[in-house]
């Protein structure tokens, strides 16, 4: 078994994690650093009292993974943060909002103030959806409730390629928030029930629009003990394949768009660029590498001001007049909510591709 305390103790204090952490960038506070986070593990395991700043620091992390990527001694910093949150939850010390969101996912199948009865309000009569198929589409919570145009564009593009997917009548939140916050036993049970249901529908391929859903269902569920027997496909990967085969033929245009990457797919970001280039757009890179939007893992509900400042790292780098292109619905939701006036145009690649193809 991996000894996380030994790994935390192996820190050489090189400060590389401080240079890339979005929380550290916007707070300029030595208390809120990845290095300071992992230094708390031993005290949390012992149930010792934490100062307000120390407690906040554990939850001031989007678990974007930027710190993991640069650590020269390969400390799994985000795993240690997850373990600390797991311990605090077991000790009854996690933030109230975090606990309530976790319960909402487990009881109501949604992470926020959403009504699961309206999950499929995005479905319109022009969409060709099968009652039964080996291919299913899962929009995910943020698409279904906040960006319905992404779901509609996805189905329209699939239909244009003669694909008619079914929907998951009992679609649920994937449970990423549970995993980020150390509720691993509940996440494992949630995963088991959800995968059992999807497999019971005879589904062989599940298409998802959200990078978080893709990572969780496609990779994290196996770590929780319930590996799906179906294939999980990120929608952009499927679109790229359909474009390469000529089943989708986007029209060429001109102009420049600004692209922000999704943290869960920071190491798999070639396909979004290929699709944008296939449409004829030039790409303005906002950052060297990936910089988190600042919303995930509970930062947005627990620390809205800091979350907003992190979002502004993207908005401040955006060239005036450029459309900001995203492929993470949660990023889009967050950035739209914190941007000032006039609001920049923000589009998901699925929507952009539908505009240039249909």
Domains for the chain: give ranges and CATH numbers: 2-93 (1.10.1060.10), 107-237 (3.40.50), 249-354 (3.40.50)
Q: What is the mean pLDDT of residues 209-220?
A: 97
pLDDT tens column, 166-187: 999 999 999 999 999 999 999 9
DSSP conformational letter for 322: P
Whole-number Å distance between alpha carbons of 299 and 23: 10
Do strands 205-208 and 166-167 pair parallel, antiparallel, or not at all (unpaired)?
A: unpaired
Which whole-number Å values give the CA distances from 115 to 144, 172, 212, 213, in the listed order? 11, 12, 20, 19
pLDDT score, position 288:
86
To the nearest whole number, what is the mean pLDDT of the chain?
96
User: What percent of the chain clears pLDDT 90, i.e. is strictly above it?
Assistant: 92
SS3 46: coil
* Residue 320 reports pLDDT greater than 90: no
User: In this predicted structure, what is the pLDDT of residue 343?
Assistant: 83
Alpha-carbon distance of 262 to 142, in angstroms, equals 14
Across 240-268, average pLDDT: 95
Mean pLDDT of the 141-150 span: 96
Q: Which residues pair with 166 in a beta bridge?
A: 136
**Banded pLDDT at 153 (limits 50, 70, 90):** very high
Mean local confidence (pLDDT), 215-228: 97
Residue 13 has pLDDT above 80, yes or no: yes
Q: Give phi and psi for 7, each to the nearest 5.
A: -65, -40
| C-alpha–C-alpha distance, residues 153 and 146, integer Å | 14
**Quick check: helix, strand or coil at residue 206?**
strand
Query: pTM of the full predicted structure?
Result: 0.96
Q: Can you read off the two tokens belonging to residue 110?
A: 């949604």
What's the pLDDT at 112? 83
Q: What is the Cα–Cα distance from 291 to 19, expressed in whole angstroms? A: 11
């Amino acid at each position: 078994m991996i000894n996380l305390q030994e790994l935390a103790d192996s820190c050489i204090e090189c400060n590389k994690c401080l240079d890339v952490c979005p929380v550290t960038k916007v707070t300029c506070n030595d208390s809120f650093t990845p290095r300071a986070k992992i230094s708390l593990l031993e005290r949390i395991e012992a149930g010792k009292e934490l100062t307000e700043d120390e407690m906040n620091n554990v939850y001031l992390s989007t678990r974007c993974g930027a710190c993991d990527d640069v650590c020269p001694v390969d400390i799994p910093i985000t795993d240690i943060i997850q373990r600390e949150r797991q311990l605090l939850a077991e000790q009854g010390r996690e933030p109230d909002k975090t606990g309530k969101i976790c319960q909402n996912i487990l009881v109501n199948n949604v992470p926020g103030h959403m009504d699961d009865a309206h999950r499929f309000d995005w479905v319109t009569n022009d969409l060709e959806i099968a009652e039964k198929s080996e291919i299913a589409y899962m929009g995910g919570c943020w698409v279904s409730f906040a960006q319905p145009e992404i779901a509609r564009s996805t189905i329209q593009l699939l239909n244009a390629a003669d694909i008619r997917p079914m929907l998951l009548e009992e679609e649920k939140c994937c449970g990423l928030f549970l995993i980020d916050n150390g509720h691993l036993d509940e996440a494992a049970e949630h995963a088991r029930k959800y995968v059992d249901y999807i497999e019971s529908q005879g589904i062989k391929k599940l298409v998802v629009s959200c990078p978080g859903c893709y990572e969780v269902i496609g990779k994290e569920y196996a770590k929780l003990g319930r590996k799906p027997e179906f294939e999980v496909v990120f929608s952009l990967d499927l679109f790229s394949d359909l474009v390469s085969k000529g089943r989708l033929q986007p029209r060429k245009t001109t102009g420049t768009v600004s692209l922000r990457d999704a943290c869960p797919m920071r190491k798999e970001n070639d396909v979004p660029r290929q699709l944008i280039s296939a449409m004829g757009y030039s790409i303005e890179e906002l950052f060297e590498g990936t910089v988190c939007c600042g919303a995930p893992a509970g930062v947005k509900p627990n620390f809205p001001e800091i979350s907003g400042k992190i979002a502004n790292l993207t908005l401040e780098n955006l060239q005036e007049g450029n459309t900001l292109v995203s492929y993470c619905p949660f990023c889009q939701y967050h950035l739209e909510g914190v941007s000032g006036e006039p609001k920049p145009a923000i589009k998901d690649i699925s929507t952009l591709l539908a505009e240039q193809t249909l």
